[in-house]
Amino acid sequence: MRILISGAAGFLGSHLCDRLLKEGHSVIGMDNFITGNPENLAHLANNQNFSFIRHDVANFIFVPGKVDAVMHFASPASPNPASPYGYTNLPIQTMKAGALGTHNTLGVARANDARYLLASTSEIYGDPLEHPQKETYWGHADPIGVRSVYDEAKRFAEAMTMAYHRAHGLNTHIVRIFNTYGPRMRLDDGRVVPNFIQQALRGEPLTIFGDGSQTRSFCYVSDLIEGIYRLLLSEEHSPVNIGNPQETSILEFARMINRIIQNPADVVFRPAKRLGDDPQRRQPDITRAKTILKWEPKFSLEEGIRATIPYFRQKLELD
């Protein structure tokens, strides 16, 4: 297939480019580099099956030639206000990527009668009252809070995608992505994985906001990409959770990283800094992915962290 990927220079988008090229597809990457990193695609410069268009998906998209699939991954994704790449610092761009970007990429898919896959998020569940979260759960999110620029953009994107499926018969797919980590995450992303790994590599105590009892479910990037690829090739049109159901407290996670890196500095606790309805628990129900896609994660959390650390070590040495 010839596949257009928006947000191709991002953490997930670049790994997706690699996987699709490995499978023999031709890839057109698209990014405006607001949060994407050109270095993530540098290794593809001489790949004859890869081309790149610098473009903002909030504007009309024209791609010459036939396109067989469109995958919309363009959006700021970090909730951390301390990061310049966080969506609270890019609120209008985030809303445009989710609303106008979805509309424009769906237009490309419709014009080409192509498959379409939307990268949605577990954030549409908000601070969930159901645990673990099934795809049938409607969520518990503040529509006007500081996190709403991301949450509501993705909720709108899902609604728009389903509207194109129902009104135009477009072959659409929606993946709800849970916390994912791995090489190519930004060091200044502000999220817990890059923060903890960098602090441990520097021999500093790992900073935990609150008592560390809040939980996350971390999925290694190659597992996530495998699930997304299977979803693209499937005939499933309803949203599908892709993530690792192994729930880990932030305190357990911090001490595991310290043990792997052999950082003796332990942890330090700071007052909780909760951003809006920042979820205290997050865990996917992946029954649908197991049943329909025959998918489940293969990497344990420790295996994934061990595979991620060398990337951060190299980036810190370069800096």
All structural domains of the chain: 2-318 (3.40.50.720)
Judged on CB neighbours under 10 Å (0-12, 13-18, 19+), 313 is middle
Asked whether the beta carbons of 85 and 17 are under 8 A apart, the reply is: no
Judged on CB neighbours under 10 Å (0-12, 13-18, 19+), 3 is buried
pLDDT of 152 higher than 70:
yes
Buried-exposed string 72-101: b where 16+ CB fall within 10 A, e elsewhere: bbbbbbbbbeebbbbbbbbbebbbbbbbbb
Please report, rounded to a whole number, the percentage of residues in the chain having pLDDT higher than 70. Answer: 97
Catalytic residues: 150
pLDDT of 10 higher than 90:
yes
Residues 6+ apart with CB under 8 A from 227: 175, 240, 242, 289, 293, 295
Q: Return d(Cα 244, Cα 210) in angstroms, integer.
A: 24
Q: How confident is the model at residue 78 (pLDDT cuts 50, 70, 90)?
A: confident
Q: How confident is the model at residue 82 (pLDDT cuts 50, 70, 90)?
A: confident
pLDDT tens readout for residues 172-198? 999 999 999 999 998 888 789 999 999
pLDDT of 237 higher than 80:
yes
Q: Return d(Cα 147, Cα 86) in angstroms, integer.
A: 10
Please report, rounded to a whole number, the percentage of residues in the chain having pLDDT higher than 90. Answer: 84
pLDDT of 249 higher than 60:
yes
DSSP of 30-75, one letter per residue? EE--SS--GGGGGGGTT-TTEEEEE--TTS-----S--SEEEE--S
